[in-house]
Amino acid sequence: MRKNEFEFCSNVERPDPRLGELGRRDFLFRFGKGLGSMALTSLLHTDGWLQANGIQGDPLAPKVPHFPAKAKSCIFLFMSGAPGQMDTFDPKPKLAELHGKPIVRKYGSLEKRIYVASPFKFARHGKCGMEISEIFPHLATCADDIAVVRAMHTSSEAHTTATFFMNTGAAIPGSPSMGAWAAYGLGTENGNLPAFVVLPDIRGGVFGGAINWASGYLPAYYQGTLFNSVGDPIVDLQPPAGVTPERQQKNISLLNELNEPYLDAQPRNPHLLARMKNYELAFRMQTAVPDSLDMSKEPESIRELYGLNNKMTEPMGKRCLMARRLVERGVRFVQIYCQGWDSHENIAGEHKKRGLETDKPIAGLLKDLKQRGLLDETLVAWGGEFGRTADNTMDFFRTGPGRDHNKDAMVVWLAGAGIKGGTVVGETDELGIKCVENVYHTHDLHATMLHLMGLDHLRLTYYHSGRFKRLTNIAGGLIKEVLV
């Protein structure tokens, strides 16, 4: 198949004249076409998923990746609000010299702004000597496991659109999130759990809400499932109080008995059997989901490792431990949100506090994954929606200076499967305002993450609105330096 990097709207592989291998199946689902048809039945058989769980038409059954995957699962730690790169992984000593001095500018607003040095000390850590801010003392002990991308930039400077961009590769709503793409491309290893789980920060909503884990133009079953922090993890996972499991089971068996004769009425309708199976699956999920989130059986050492014994670290620690338990059980993509990085003022206090809350849990997650041998098959990513500026306005006298939004430089790190630990990629200018060397865009991050999961971002397409669309739109390349 001809491929060229410039022909942007047709840069897809089409095994079938019209649809990608996955797209074709979904196309049929979407249009309610008979899965009972000969061609499709054989297609499904070759996938081996009919045998896998006996559910006819399960689009979330495990699928063969484009090439052998390094990572089976991915945990994306989303630092919502955007951490400052010069306060975390990209030290800028030059800023200390300029601290408090007004910025010089040739044009633009007359608003008075001054340079702001990072209030945090950096030190070299690990064999690689990676420079990490003092707000991450625990993570610093994992320096040799993580690869920091310093020269990363993105396409939007407003929280919501940038958050959409980080999650869906587009600044406007309507595109599938990365987790949905992963679920679409790979299915899930555990049919009793959702393929893509979102663990929100209990403190509040994510910028833009559910669009960030939506399935966009992909079919709805690829959307992320948000696990509530209170009550049922999933809405209506459990029947109303008073309905015992025995009663539920009795009801399901009568339902399936009554459903059976109807199968004959529509021999060409694959959904009838799928629905019957779903009731049994839902019943199993009623136990499987709470079980996957039940941390009471974790030993004390693990609780300590994730910081569950400390009020400050407990919320994030819980989410990190849940994430481990979920990927352990075969969930494909877990996204953890951590709010509160948007420090327009008092970066010294706020970033420090975020460090105190997240450092131990995240380091605990990396160490725990490693000791279980899971880090070799799990990709862990950390980052916010954009970076922050080197300067600030003057109206912070009450609380101390902070930083504003900056889309031209930001920092992310990756760890785990297929990642060359101890690497630092790219350079920003001496003030950390703009990327200057080995520059990568968030599209490249997406391409790299899919790559590690065994998916070629150019081939993972879905036919929608007249063309084959993909996570990386018309861009994206691999961040080769971080790959083993």
Partner 1 sequence: MKIKIVWNAMAVIAGVFTMLVRLPAAGSRVDFKKDIQPIFESNCIGCHAVQMPEGGLVMESLDSLLKGGKKQGPAIVPGSGQKSPLVRSLTGEIQPRMPLGSQPLPKKEIALIAKWIDELSQPESGTSAKETARQSGPVHRFDTEIKPILEQNCLSCHNAEKGKGGLVVQDIDSLLRGGAHDGPSVVAGQSEKSPLVQRLRGVKEPRMPMNGKPLSEEQIERIAKWINEMEPPAGVGAVASAKKPAWPWAPVTEVAIPQVKRQDWVRNPIDAFVLAQQEHKQLQPAPSASKRSLLRRLYFDLVGLPPTPEDMERFLRDDSPDAYGREVEKLLADPRYGERWGRHWLDLVRYSDTRGGAIDYPRPHMWRYRDYVIRAFNQDRPYDRFVKEQIAGDAFRAYGDEGKIGLGFLGQWVAVEAEGEQVRRDYVVDVVNTTGSVFLGLTLGCAGCHNHKYDPIPTKDYYRIEAFFSPMTVDLQDVAFHQYEMPRLQPEQWKKAAKDWEQVLAERKKLAAEFEEKIKKQKTEHYMLWAPQDLKDWSDSGQRKLPFPADTLLTQQDKDRRKLINRQTARFANPNSPDYYLPKAYVVSDSELQNTVATYVLTGGNYKLRSEEVKPGFLSAISSDPEGPSLDGLVGSRRQLLANWIASRDNPLTARVMVNRIWQYHLGEGLVATPSDFGKNGAGTVHQELIDWMAWRFMESGWSLKEIHRLILNSNVYQQSMKHPKAKEQELVDSDNRYLWVRDPVRLEVESIRDSVLAVSGQLNPLMGGPPFFPEADDEQMERGSTWWEPSSRTQQNRRTVYMLQIRSFQLPMVKVFDGANMDESCVVRGVTSVTPQVFALFNSKFSHDQSREMANRLIAEVGHSPERQIERAFQLAFQRPPTAVEKEKSLAYLSRNPSRPPVELSLKETPYAQASDAQAAHGQASGSVGALADFCLILLNMNEFIFLE
Work out which of 80, 161, 313, 339 binds partner 1, going by CB under 8 A.
161
What one-letter code names the amino acid at 94? K
Out of 123, 255, 394, 484, point to the residue binding partner 1 (CB under 8 A): 255
What is residue 364's three-state secondary structure? helix
Distance of alpha carbon 196 from alpha carbon 180, whole angstroms: 7
Tell which positions 92-131 bind partner 1, by CB under 8 A: 119
| 3-state secondary structure labels for all residues of 153-213 | ECCCCCHHHHHHHHHHCCCCCCCCCHHHHHHHHHCCCCCCCCCEEEECCCCCCCCCHHHHH
- Which of 285, 321, 410, 419 contacts partner 1 by CB under 8 A? 285
Q: How far is the CB of 425 from partner 1 (least distance, A)?
A: 28
Q: Residues 308-347: x/- map of binding to partner 1 (CB under 8 A)? A: ----------------------------------------
Question: 381 forms bridges with which residues in the sheet?
Answer: 76, 414
Check residue 477 for interaction with partner 1 (CB under 8 A). Answer: no
Size, binding site for partner 1 by CB under 8 A: 105
Return the number of other C-beta atoms located less than 10 Å from residue 400's C-beta: 16
* Nearest to partner 1 of 132, 366 (CB atom): 132
244 lies in the site for partner 1, by CB under 8 A:
no
Q: Which residues contact 161 (CB under 8 A, 6 or more apart)?
A: 171, 172, 208
Residue pair 272/278 in contact (Cβ under 8 Å)? The answer is no
Q: Which of 359, 369, 379 is nearest to 302 (CA)?
A: 369
**Which of these segments, 29-37, 87-95, 360-368, 378-386, binds partner 1 (CB under 8 A)?**
29-37
The least distance separating partner 1 from the CB of residue 131, rounded to whole angstroms, comes to 20
Binding to partner 1, residues 56-95 (CB under 8 A): 57, 59
Least separation in angstroms between CB 281 and partner 1: 5
Give the CA angle between residues 51, 460, 413 to the nearest 5°.
105
Q: Is 234 in the site for partner 1 (CB under 8 A)?
A: yes
Tell me how far, at minimum, the Cβ of 270 lies from partner 1, in Å. 8
Quick note: the x/- pattern for partner 1 over 381-420, rule CB under 8 A, is ---------------xx-xxx-------------------
Residue 247 in contact with partner 1, rule: CB under 8 A: yes
Distance CA 63, CA 22 (A): 9
CB closer to partner 1, 234 vs 431: 234
Instruction: Please choose, out of 144-152, 253-261, 376-384, 414-422, the segment that lies near partner 1 by the rule CB under 8 A.
Output: 253-261
Instruction: For residue 312, give the amino acid letter.
Output: M
330 phi and psi angles, rounded to 5 deg:
100, 10
Rg (CA), the chain: 24
370 counts as binding partner 1 under rule CB under 8 A? no
- What angle (nearest 5°) sits at the alpha carbon of residue 365, between those of residues 360 and 367? 95
Q: Which stretch binds partner 1 (CB under 8 A): 67-75, 142-150, 244-252, 429-437?
A: 244-252
* Cβ(11)–Cβ(474) below 8 Å: yes
Asked if 149 and 411 count as a contact pair (C-beta separation under 8 A), the reply is yes
258 makes contact with partner 1 (CB under 8 A):
yes
Q: Write the CA distances from 313 to 244, 307, 326, 327, 409, integer angstroms.
A: 36, 5, 20, 21, 28
Which lies closer to partner 1 via its Cβ, residue 255 or residue 484? 255
Name which position in 123, 254, 394, 484 contacts partner 1 (CB under 8 A): 254
Residue identified by tokens 């059976």 is 260
Place of tokens 């008979």: 34
Closest to partner 1 by CB, 268 or 372? 268
Torsion 482-333-329-313 (CA) sign: positive
Within 167-206, which residues bind partner 1 (CB under 8 A)? 171-174, 200, 204-206
Rounded to a whole number of angstroms, the minimum distance from the CB of residue 421 to partner 1 is: 29
- Which residues, numbered 447-476, are part of the site for partner 1 (CB under 8 A)? 465-467
Name which of 324 and 351 has its Cβ closer to partner 1. Answer: 351
Task: Identify which range of 37-45, 79-87, 324-332, 427-435 contacts partner 1 by CB under 8 A.
Answer: 37-45
Which segment (179-187, 271-279, 429-437, 439-447) binds partner 1 by CB under 8 A? 271-279
| CB 340 to partner 1: min, Å | 13
